[in-house]
């Protein structure tokens, strides 16, 4: 039996499942509408899209390491309660390992990959949504690799995840300082690894603001340049990881703390994910909600 676009549309409207999932369901059951509904229900796909509009800003950030390569992954859900659900945590952990093994280029590429049996990552996520009953999303991931070590750190039971990649000779001491730097990154949240990462546009904008402020305060033009140079150095020391005071030894910069452990070691990349950052959360007014329900 030929499957028409109208058939797929009808099944999608009835179940809330994706177009491709509806087409596959109808193909598998020979075009029978009711059987198609049952097929999607068995796969756990019918409920997922109905929850897709609900804000998922909670969840978990996980890390996983293999050799000198590591991944940090954020998977979101609607409530903090779900972040402690064993199935949810197991899914995130398994997915992190899957990413390390297969190295997808993007979340979009990841979603379409075969994951569990005949299910794609997206379909496995849909099943989890149907089982737990909350909207969920695989938001982002980043993989870092280094010639020496990649340290990982998770803070607050999955609220913040950090990777720090360090080139150098792979030794226990290097792994220890790298992990300490990861803890520093979690606490301080530097915007750049080094001054080299600060673009000319960002540096020029900061310099312009500082110059105009110094001039507006009445400082003589002859010394404004010196003042601004000093303030730019402060900007770099506050925002660039290598220039920051090391939280575990404020007498040293992070760069000095690393080189003291291993002279040729170099921090080459950092990734820091804070759970839900940048997601606009819905503010709930529970009193108004109860009042509205009683009025109804």
Of 88, 110, 111, give the one whose Cα is nearest residue 101. Answer: 110
Residues 55-145: name the CATH superfamily: Elongation factor Ts, dimerisation domain (3.30.479.20)
Give me the pLDDT at residue 286, please.
Answer: 46
Of 177, 188, 190, give the one whose Cα is nearest residue 155. Answer: 188
**Alpha-carbon torsion, ordered 98, 276, 69, 182, to 10 deg:** -150
Please give the DSSP secondary-structure letter assigned to residue 282: P
CB atoms within 10 A of CB 77: 24
- State how far the Cα of 115 lies from the Cα of 253, in Å rounded to an integer: 44
Give me the pLDDT at residue 183, please.
Answer: 97
Helix, strand or coil, per DSSP, at residue 118: coil
- State how far the Cα of 196 lies from the Cα of 104, in Å rounded to an integer: 28
pLDDT digits (tens, 9 = 90+) for 37-91: 777 766 665 554 455 456 667 999 999 999 999 999 999 998 889 889 999 999 9
Give me the pLDDT at residue 148, please.
Answer: 94
Indicate the angle between helix axes 33-43 and 121-132, nearest 10 degrees: 80
- Which segments of the chain belong to CATH 1.10.8.10? 5-46
Q: Report which of residues 17 and 149 the model is more confident about.
A: 149
From residue 18, alpha-carbon distances to 76, 100, 112, 209 in Å are 20, 28, 13, 50
> Positive or negative CA dihedral for 24, 124, 43, 137?
negative
For the chain, the farthest-separated pair of C-alpha atoms sits apart, in whole angstroms, at 85
CATH code for the part of the protein at 5-46: 1.10.8.10
pLDDT digits (tens, 9 = 90+) for 192-211: 999 999 999 999 999 999 99
Percent of the chain at pLDDT exceeding 70 = 86
Give me the pLDDT at residue 154, please.
Answer: 97
- State how far the Cα of 60 lies from the Cα of 68, in Å rounded to an integer: 23
- Which segments of the chain belong to CATH 3.30.479.20? 55-145
DSSP E strands in 118-236: the ranges are 119-120, 136-145, 149-155, 160-167
């Amino acid at each position: 039996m030929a499957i028409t676009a109208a058939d797929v549309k009808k099944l999608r409207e009835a179940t809330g499942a994706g177009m491709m999932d509806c087409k596959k369901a109808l193909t598998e059951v020979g075009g029978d509408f009711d059987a198609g509904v049952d097929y999607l229900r068995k796969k756990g796909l019918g409920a997922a899209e109905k929850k897709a509009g609900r804000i998922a800003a909670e969840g978990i950030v996980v890390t996983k390491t293999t050799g000198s390569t590591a991944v940090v992954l954020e998977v979101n859900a609607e409530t903090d309660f779900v972040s402690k659900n064993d199935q949810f945590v197991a899914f995130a952990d398994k997915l992190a390992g899957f990413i390390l093994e297969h190295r997808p280029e993007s979340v979009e590429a990841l979603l379409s990959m075969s994951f569990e049996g005949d299910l794609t990552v997206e379909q496995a996520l849909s099943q989890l949504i149907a089982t737990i009953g909350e909207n969920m999303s695989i938001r982002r991931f980043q993989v870092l690799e280094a010639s020496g070590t990649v340290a990982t750190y998770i803070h607050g039971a999955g609220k913040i995840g950090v990777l720090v990649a360090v080139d150098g000779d792979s030794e226990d001491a290097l792994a220890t300082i790298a992990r300490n730097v990861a803890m520093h990154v979690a606490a301080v949240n530097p915007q750049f690894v080094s001054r080299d990462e600060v673009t000319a546009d960002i540096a020029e904008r900061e310099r312009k603001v500082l110059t105009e402020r110094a001039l507006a305060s009445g400082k003589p033009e002859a010394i404004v340049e010196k003042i601004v140079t000093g303030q730019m150095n402060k900007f770099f020391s506050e925002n660039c990881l290598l220039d920051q005071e090391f939280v575990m030894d404020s007498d040293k910069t992070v760069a000095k703390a690393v080189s003291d452990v291993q002279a040729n070691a170099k921090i080459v990349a950092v990734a820091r994910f804070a759970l839900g950052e940048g997601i606009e959360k819905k503010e709930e007014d529970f009193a108004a909600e109860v009042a509205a329900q009683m009025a109804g």
